[in-house]
Amino acid sequence: MRTSPKSKHPKLMNSIRKYWYHCFFYIAFSYALTQILVLGSSRIADSTDRLFAGEAIILREFMIPFIILMLLGGAAAFGKSYSKNSFSIYMQTDIRNMLVSKLVRIRTRYFDDEGTGVLMNKLLSDMYEIEALFAECIPEFLVAMITIITVCAYIGMQSVRLLLVTLICYPLLLWIANKLTGMVGKVAAVRRQLYDDLEKTAYDVIQGILVGKTFNLYELHKKRIFDIEDEIVRNESYRTKVLAINYVMSNLVRWIPKLICYLFCLYEVSHGRMSIGTIFAYAMLLDQIANPMGNIPGQIVSIREYAVSTKRLQEVLDQEEEVSGTGDFAPEGEIVMELTHVNFGYSEEKQVLKDISLTIRKGSNVAFIGNSGGGKSTVMKILCGFYYPQEGQYRIYGHDFSEWDIDALRKYISLVSQNVFLFPGTIAQNVAYGKPGAAKEEIIEVCKKANIHDFIVQLPQGYETEIGERGARLSGGQAQRLAIARAFLKDAPILLLDEPTSAVDVETEQGIQEILREISRNRTVITIAHRLNTIADADEIYVFENGEIVKREVQANGI
């Protein structure tokens, strides 16, 4: 397989190469803006000096250039702000698209290892961090640097000695900031942990509300939550003290140089090296750079923090994708699926499947049973192509799995599993996912077959009813029927049933079993069963235990 590594593992930072010009414009506009401000200040300095020299100032002569400066300043500020946000917006959009396109192709393993919750958190909160990185951190850092450099250059041109005095306290500021951020960082970790605990506990309490109410546990649970809240406040107390000290120190370090500079100015004047105008302009410029200079240490820390998020997201982009060949074969032959001597483990130490061999014949109805952890679900996942055998071979319609184009292969497989997932959208849309472009009549037909049509038409909006959080709530049985309708619509020759009735009650189960019997006709069916009555129709039963097939039974009734 030769695919270019670039397309397989897109680099987050490639987007920078694509949108660097926004950043360039931003820097250019920022530079222009500072220049305009410097120019303005120097004109003010000039005119002040002339005023003191007793010269008459012609207002018009002074005002026209200044008005031009003003308009240019406005335009530059507009350009600066616009290009800065554009940079961030395009970057974000690109990265999000990249991530989602990648996500649907990553190997299933990864989702099991990470857990959906963690991954979701990664995608959302790290994405927010990255947003802040491009929208604020990087541009502001750049502009702070530019402001400082231009202003310093201006001051340096006026007086190198003044420049040195301006910068003299700066290393001290950096050192203090560094020390304090380290302290705050440790507290922040504790804080994050406490908030996690709080959320976990509260979630626990809400989830168990039925027990909580019936056992009168209100006071106990209140205490559990309140204790954590109080701990949070205690932790904040320490953090706030550190922050308060931090504030005082950084202000002092910013303020003292200012005083020193003023005094130095005075000294320079006494030696005839500086004019009032220069002091005036200098005081204004000093205000301009005081903030960016103070912010730089904090910005460096933020950039370092955000870099962690960049790395975490890049990890997602670097994940291996599903194996896919290029073959698109016809579903022919008597043997539909075949595993030979398959070994598989989620980790090195623990083998989940040991030397599994099985053959599924066309039109047969096969059941997998056994304790949880026995390996039956893992075999199912291998058959779906979610996992790959570490050793041994998996063949479908006579072709090795790796020869198949993964999407071509899945055309022939339908899966109805225990956790039905319905996408937000209308009922019709959800069923139609089984066969893109399906006509309305087809959808209705399969819903009738799945015994859900009557329920759907009595809803106020019928097939156009929205499901999910903002729409109708479906019971477990109803959702399962929709999933079956979807599978009917797909009309694939192989049907995999992964405990489809484990989440519904016994009464509902019977109804669903009947429909499953209906859909199983003329198909090759593999069922993972958890109740014995489920497997009454099976012609072949495999019993799994500790990753091995311990028993294979052929029943006479089906064949």
Q: Is 428 in the site for other proteins (CB under 8 A)?
A: no
Q: In angstroms, how far is the first alpha carbon of the chain from the final one?
A: 42
The residue among 47 and 299 lying less far from other proteins, judged by its C-beta, is 47
Residue whose pair of structure tokens reads 């039963």 in the numeric block = 541
| In the complex, least distance from residue 82 CB atom to other proteins, rounded to whole angstroms | 4
Identify the residue among 20, 24, 255, 346 touching other proteins (CB under 8 A): 255
- Positions in 18-77 near other proteins (CB under 8 A): 33, 36, 40, 44, 47-48, 51-52, 57, 59, 62-63, 66-67, 69-71, 73-77
Calpha distance 305→318 (Å, rounded): 21
Q: How far is CA 282 from CA 53, 165, 262, 285, in A?
A: 19, 12, 9, 5
The stretch among 116-124, 146-154, 341-349, 395-403 that binds other proteins (CB under 8 A) is: 116-124
Q: Pick one of 167, 217, 428, 459: the residue that binds other proteins (CB under 8 A).
A: 217
Candidates 113, 391, 407, 553: give the one binding other proteins (CB under 8 A). 407
How many Cβ atoms from other residues are within 10 Å of residue 241's Cβ?
12
Give the nearer residue to other proteins in terms of CB position, either 229 or 334.
229
In the complex, minimum distance from the CB of residue 341 to other proteins, in angstroms, rounded to a whole number: 26
Cα gap 281→287, rounded to integer Å: 10
Binding span for other proteins by CB under 8 A among 170-178, 204-212, 342-350, 545-553: 204-212
Sequence-separated (6 or more) residues with CB below 8 Å from residue 119: 111, 316
Q: How many CA atoms lie within 13 A of 99 on its CB side?
A: 22
Contact region for other proteins (CB under 8 A) — 8-16, 99-107, 163-171, 544-552?
99-107
Does 125 interact with other proteins (rule: CB under 8 A)? Answer: no
Nearest to 417 by CA among 339, 495, 314, 332: 495
| Beta bridge partner(s), residue 394 | 339
Q: Which of residues 289-318 bind other proteins (CB under 8 A)?
A: none
What is the edge-to-edge ordering of all strands in the sheet holding 494-498? 413-417, 494-498, 524-528, 365-370, 540-545, 548-554
Chain centroid to CA 310: how far? 11
The CB-of-554 to other proteins minimum distance in angstroms stands at 24
Binder to other proteins among 13, 14, 97, 185 (CB under 8 A)? 97
> Which is closer to other proteins, CB of 1 or CB of 259?
259
Q: Which of 25, 280, 329, 455 binds other proteins (CB under 8 A)?
A: 280
Binder among 196, 230, 320, 514 for other proteins (CB under 8 A): 230
3-state secondary structure of 543: strand
User: Does 244 help bind other proteins (rule: CB under 8 A)?
Assistant: yes
Q: In this structure, which amino acid lies at residue 24?
A: F
- The answer to the question of residue 172 lying near other proteins (CB under 8 A) is no
φ and ψ of 376, to 5 deg = -65, -40
- Report the residue from 163, 433, 455, 537 that binds other proteins according to the rule CB under 8 A: 433
Q: Which residue from 9, 11, 16, 90 is in contact with other proteins, where contact means CB under 8 A?
A: 90
Q: Quick check: 436 binds other proteins (CB under 8 A)?
A: yes
365 vs 414 by CB, closer to other proteins: 414
Question: How many Å apart are CA 27 and CA 22, to the nearest integer?
Answer: 9
Q: What is the DSSP annotation of 458-470?
A: TSTTGGG-EESTT
Window of 244-252, 306-314, 393-401, 457-465 that interacts with other proteins by CB under 8 A: 244-252
Amino acid at 255: W
Contact 537, 558 (CB under 8 A): yes
Residue 96 interacts with other proteins (CB under 8 A): yes or no = yes
Closer CB to other proteins, 179 or 341, in the complex: 179
Question: How far is the C-alpha of 145 from the C-alpha of 151, rounded, in Å?
Answer: 10
d(CA 384, CA 398): 16
CB closer to other proteins out of 61 and 556:
61
Subset of residues 323 to 382 that bind other proteins, contact rule: CB under 8 A = 371-372
